[in-house]
Amino acid sequence: MAQKLVIYDSVFGNTEKVAQGIGEALGDASVKKVNEVNPGDLEDLEILIVGSPTRGFRPTPAIMNFFKNLPDNALHRVKAAAFDTRIPIEKAEPGFLRFMIKLFGYADEKIAKQLEKAGAYLALKSTGFGVTGTEGPLEDGELERAKNWASSIL
């Protein structure tokens, strides 16, 4: 039976909330923190969504290690999508931070590249969900937006 899996890492709990919401939207999806994923979880995958908070303009080290340890083509023919949680660029203070975001981007783009490198097909444009500060909480409406975004992969 084809499986749906949401893999995430979270520092302050915001990305976990988004991942759980995405899992709900997908129906019978497993939602696992990246350090709980084992190779068997990737067998018979139909849909994989991976998310991380943006930390230093990139995903967490745990998410990057997950990809580093994937066998070549491990996600061949898997429909995939990437997300992050972030301070939206228009709310980033000071201006230097906005400049750095424009230069280096957010975690979602880096996750999407890793998914493609592992053989997955990006079925949704990667995206980010806003938090109000370094530790959150999520901005109003972002959880609902995450559910809508994820359900469009079905």
Predicted confidence band at 71 (pLDDT cuts at 50, 70, 90)? confident
pTM score: 0.96
Helix (H) or strand (E) holding 85: strand 79-86
- Please check the confidence at residue 123 and state whether its pLDDT lies above 70: yes
Q: Which CATH superfamily is domain 3-151 in?
A: Flavodoxin domain (3.40.50.360)
pLDDT of residue 93: 87
**Token match 């990305």: residue?**
15
**Token match 């201006």: residue?**
95
Looking at 105-152, list the stretches that DSSP marks H as alpha helix, in order from N- to C-terminal side. Answer: 107-117, 142-151
55 beta partners: 58
Q: What is the mean pLDDT of the chain?
A: 95
Integer Cα distance of 148 and 146 in angstroms:
5
**Token match 């949680």: residue?**
85
Integer Cα distance of 116 and 122 in angstroms:
7
Strands 127-130 and 79-86: parallel
Which CB contacts under 8 angstroms, 24+ apart, belong to 144-150? 144/21, 146/18, 146/21, 146/22, 146/25, 146/83, 147/21, 147/22, 147/24, 147/25, 148/25, 149/22, 149/81, 149/83, 149/124, 150/21, 150/22, 150/25, 150/26, 150/49, 150/81, 150/124
pLDDT of residue 41: 94
Predicted confidence band at 72 (pLDDT cuts at 50, 70, 90)? confident
